[in-house]
Structure 1
């Protein structure tokens, strides 16, 4: 089934071009790891899919329908969920309220209790903190909360940006492992991560270099190429 398709996508900010002629397909049910050094276009690619780069050209489609001229909030309504870098939480709200803010569409809101249970199954460290302000959590807990809020929505395509950024290795491993255990059903996931060793659960690795796709490999072949 057709999933995310990018054809000739370029993107940047003001006069600066970051991405050059990106051609990429992500099938429904597939997890793709997007790797590369900082500054080579991983974040811009995810933002370009959502129409959130400074500008974007080329063709973008999801499930056979063009999304090139669709506003970011409309894409979110259609199930395209961007989980940005860092611990993007509302520090003054409780952990529970932060999670429920992710269930902003009517269907997700009606099922918010079940969705919250699913998130807490993935991130049990949040359970004792449900009623405390998010700003009092540790860095790793805030990152779990930020990702968990994204999972509260009616997601089909999950775009996850650098989930391990700033986290201790053990916490980062647990966070990425939780994302890999998520049942995608009829969805897909693109996870941008500088630490390729965390991406053992993806189906394919795509490496960006200087704003272009430099390499695409099945995950197993990528591991062999790294000598692991």
Structure 2
């Protein structure tokens, strides 16, 4: 999967089987679905009673009509403008979305940030920002590969406060140990995270603050 497409994974389209002009031959129903101006795809359903077929056809008409009438008009989702794209030696691929104007994070700094984690196929894993209320529970961690997964440390290092990045983190610099953070507190997201720890993960991060070093790391 190329970097240009890893954040734009198409969602599966579950098209309904709408009845096209059909005919019944020897107890089988054939639906005629136009493929092009010259070709027609014939779908044959076998081993169904005539009564069940008629019920199915009528139900599909109702479902299709209701779905059309009830379908809301969704606003067009636009991909954020990417300032730059680069790849690190570790295999981490990064997109800069917002540059940021504050100080730059360095290794060993204690940082506060929000993040969204998804699997590489687009499936949601966890976010520190509630998608309904907008409330956030930022994470505070030192930029230290012994406490934070190495790939995320590399993503945050060099970011400026207020900056946003999106990155594909390979498993080799991901959750190689369950002691590494960030890890959701909730059981469901935590289980989902570790069950897919051997897959690449997509992180979207926003650096909020650079804090002083924790006292335990001094001396």
TM-score (norm 1): 0.24
Greater percentage in helix: 1
Query: Is the radius of gyration larger for structure 1 or structure 2?
Result: 2
